[in-house]
Amino acid sequence: TRTPVNVTVTGAAGQIGYALLFRIASGQLLGQDTPVRLKLLEITPALKAAEGTAMELDDCAFPLLSGIDISDDPNVAFDGASVALLVGARPRTKGMERGDLLEANGGIFKPQGQAINNHAADDIRVLVVGNPANTNALIAQQHAPDVPADRFTAMTRLDQNRAYSQLAAKLGVTVSDIRKLVIWGNHSATQYPSLAHAEVNGKNAAEAVNDQAWLENDFIPTVAKRGAAIIEARGASSAASAANAAIDHVYDWVNGTAEGQWASAGVVSDGSYGVPEGIISSFPVTSTGGEYEIVQGLDIDEFSRGRIDASVAELVEERDAVKGLGLI
Ligand code: NAX
């Protein structure tokens, strides 16, 4: 049997954690051949709740789950980790300024980046889910100088999955008829879900839709504001769908994207498509050999250019703000 892979999950006692851990333990994150050891990181007051979740994990008797560790110390939780899902974050509360939010999250993601740098396994792969995800990922990455920068990613896969479902409904097709529908920019209201290169049963999706008003006034805002719509309907933010997207993101990263399919992920920009080098922005990506690579050589039309630039400008502002606060 294979040696178990250490998977660290932060915010393990939260609602995404509750939807995520059982799927990891059942083999859906890394595949049915790979045993996992879960390492849960929580803040001290939530340790007891994390223990409760661990009891339930035990009670599932998952054959692939080789053990569970729980800690409130990042140095312990990231020790030997090959995959780290950074879910726990400080939410924006009423009256909180953006600077306060970035500062509070800097206080979480800086020590976590350092702990990853000093204790994680050499093949560590990090997915940041906790918001503001792209900038939190940047903070962690900047404090892990010994880890290749491309091992730090931020989640826009939920946005991508939301876009697939909206487009499928519009065209009366199934999501499996769609390919190459991707998210550019920040995981925020400025994100750009792009039909420009998407295909529906082999046909260009923008041409299949042929409705620029729907694209601008319906599709893009519906995808970008879906999180708020879920809160409105459910009385709680997206949890199972967020966990599902995290599974998709890591599964594709490790096992490779399917032929002819593009994923979306926030990855460190290499300057592609005019996105400033070093910021963590969402791009169309493919994965082979355990590495996400930005899809190259795409024509960017004028509408897309404006949308990408606007979202990237927001990421640059966030980066400058955390720099100004001394967080990177
Ligand atoms: P919850 O509030 O249910 O859970 C968060 C958990 O994180 C809590 O148990 C808390 O104790 C823990 N935590 C806080 N600080 C921590 C620290 N320093 N170390 C370890 N654990 C810590 O939130 P949940 O609904 O699970 O959402 C988690 C994060 O995901 C939020 O930041 C949320 O905004 C973000 N989301 C990101 C999405 C994305 O697409 N990138 C979509 C879903 C979600 O909104």
Name the helix (H) or strand (E) containing 168.
helix 157-171
**Tokens of residue 85, six digits:** 């899902």
How many A from CA of 56 to the centre of ligand 1?
Answer: 20
**Which is it for the CA torsion 125, 131, 133, 139, positive or negative?**
negative
How many A from CA of 12 to the centre of ligand 1?
Answer: 9
Q: What is the pLDDT of residues 210-233, one digit of tens each?
A: 999 999 999 999 999 999 999 999
Going from the C-alpha of 35 to that of each of 26, 65, 77, 238, 246, the distances in angstroms are 9, 6, 18, 28, 18
Grade residue 1 by pLDDT with cuts at 50, 70 and 90. Answer: low
Phi, psi dihedrals of residue 294, rounded to the nearest 5° = -70, 130
Binding residue positions for NAD(+): 11-17, 105, 112, 129-131
List the catalytic residues.
187
Q: What is the pLDDT of residues 40-97, one digit of tens each?
A: 999 999 999 999 999 999 999 999 999 999 999 999 999 999 999 999 999 888 888 8
pLDDT at 24: 98
Q: What is the pLDDT of residues 172-212, one digit of tens each?
A: 999 999 999 999 999 999 999 999 999 999 999 999 999 99
* Pairing status of strand 36-41 against strand 5-10: parallel
Q: What is the pLDDT of residues 147-174, one digit of tens each?
A: 999 999 999 999 999 999 999 999 999 9
User: What is the residue with the minimal CA distance to atom 10 of ligand 1?
Assistant: 11
Q: What is the pLDDT of residues 258-278, one digit of tens each?
A: 999 999 999 999 999 999 999
pLDDT at 325: 94
How many A from CA of 87 to the centre of ligand 1?
Answer: 5
Contacts of 168 (CB under 8 A, 6+ apart): 174, 175, 177, 178
pLDDT at 92: 86
Q: Could you tell me if the CB of 86 is within 6 A of ligand 1?
A: no
Buried b (16+ CB within 10 A) or exposed e, 103-136: bebbebbbebbbbbbebbbeebbbbbbbbbbbbb
* Pairing status of strand 83-86 against strand 178-179: unpaired
User: What is the residue with the minimal CA distance to atom 18 of ligand 1?
Assistant: 108
Is residue 299 a contact partner of residue 206, using CB atoms and an 8 Å limit? no
SS3 state of residue 270: coil
> 39, 127, 237, 282: which to mutate for ligand 1, most atoms within 8 A of CB?
237
Q: What is the pLDDT of residues 297-317, one digit of tens each?
A: 999 999 999 999 999 999 999
User: What is the residue with the minimal CA distance to atom 20 of ligand 1?
Assistant: 42
Name the helix (H) or strand (E) containing 83.
strand 83-86
Percent of the chain, pLDDT > 70?
100
Q: Could you tell me if the CB of 11 is within 6 A of ligand 1?
A: yes
User: What is the residue with the minimal CA distance to atom 29 of ligand 1?
Assistant: 130
SS3 state of residue 277: coil
